[in-house]
Amino acid sequence: MKSGFVAIVGRPNAGKSTLLNALLGKKLAITTHKAQTTRNSILGILNKEDLQIVFIDTPGIHEAKTYLGSYMNKEAYAQANGADLIYYMIDATKGLNNDDKKVLDKLFSYDIPIFAIFNKIDEISSDKLIERCSYASTHYDFKEIIPISALEKENLDELLKTSEEYLNDGILYYPKDQEDVSTLEFKISEIIREKIILNTFEEVPHLTAVKIDEYKETDSKALIEASIIVNKQSHKAIIIGKQGSMLKKINMAASRDIKELLRKRVILSLYVKVEEDWLNKEKKLFDLGYFNEN
């Protein structure tokens, strides 16, 4: 029996959450085309005969400008530091740059095997890919360099097979039938946040959070009340939209996905609340589930 923890880390938008979902064959983490979508670490447990890999999706490491940003970076580093193996995700269409260097210098100091995962190979020529992979292999001590497409599920079998070699004979960390550890409230709040990110622009997605205030379930339906926390009054107007049109759009899109998750009728009520500068208030962040355990 082999088992272990694999942390998926990297810069924002590299495709970490897409990879987690692809490896588990279900949507455990929200993904969008905008950077800094993921804010918490999200576990996905892959169970096979004689194998259990706990994958940990983490927030993209970036230059933090708020407490929330620092929390996100700290979370990513902490998860990497506790793992048996680190996948360093690189957007192959961009390659490694100076921002990666800072992150990698820190990750390599942990003395944990690191794979360079070149993602999005469906969008790049093989010449460019070879050039970028060879740069990675000459400049860093990656144990393996593996090109994949998380979106097209390309080369994931190879990734898994190679990863197994770096795991130890171990114990079962979770029951064999468990695939994730996220609470229902977390999953629902993330679905709502995804719809906000997809429907709003510029700084608004980054300055918005979601909190589930009430959750009631009967056999036939779920009643959910959630607050959308915004940073300032003008953002409240944006999220509500003309005659409530934006909020309605977010509600409809979220309800559809929540219904699929719960497999029952969903009555979702959304309220928009202004909490000035919530991203820099430790207590507020704690209440919203943004705190480091380690």
Q: How far is the CB of 29 from Mg ion (least distance, A)?
A: 6
Residues found near ligand GTP in the complex (CB under 6 A): 12-18, 31-33, 35-38, 59-60, 119-120, 122-123, 149-151
Q: How far is the CB of 65 from ligand GTP (least distance, A)?
A: 15
How far, in Å, CA of 206 to CA of 230, rounded? 10
15 vs 44, beta carbon nearer ligand GTP: 15
Distance of CA 157 to the CA centre of its chain: 21
The residue of the chain with the least Cβ separation from ligand GTP equals 60
DSSP letter (8 states) at residue 34: S
Q: How far is the CB of 221 from ligand GTP (least distance, A)?
A: 31
In DSSP terms, 59 is beta-bridged to none
Q: What's the one-letter identity of residue 189?
A: S
Residue 255 near which of ligand GTP, Mg ion, none (CB within 5-8 Å, type-dependent): none
Alpha-carbon separation of residue 28 from 51, 149, 232, 279 (angstroms): 20, 18, 30, 25
Number of Cβ atoms within 10 Å of the Cβ of 87 = 30
Residue 33 neighbours by CB under 8 Å, 6+ apart: 13
How far, in Å, CA of 222 to CA of 265, rounded? 6
Q: Which of 3, 17, 52, 255 binds Mg ion (CB under 5 A)?
A: 17
Tokens of residue 138, six digits: 């000459």
16 vs 211, beta carbon nearer ligand GTP: 16
Q: How far is the CB of 174 from Mg ion (least distance, A)?
A: 22
| Binding region for Mg ion (CB under 5 A) out of 15-23, 46-54, 68-76, 83-91 | 15-23
18 vs 200, beta carbon nearer ligand GTP: 18
17 vs 231, beta carbon nearer Mg ion: 17
Tokens of residue 282, six digits: 């430790």
- Is-contact 20 67, C-beta < 8 A? no
Residue 151 near which of ligand GTP, Mg ion, none (CB within 5-8 Å, type-dependent): ligand GTP
Q: How far is the CB of 171 from ligand GTP (least distance, A)?
A: 29
21 binds Mg ion (CB under 5 A): no
- Is-contact 55 8, C-beta < 8 A? yes
Report 31-50 residues binding Mg ion (CB under 5 A). Answer: 37-38
How far, in Å, CA of 259 to CA of 273, rounded? 24
How far, in Å, CA of 271 to CA of 251, rounded? 10
Residue 283 near which of Mg ion, ligand GTP, none (CB within 5-8 Å, type-dependent): none
Binding site for Mg ion (CB under 5 A): 16-17, 37-38
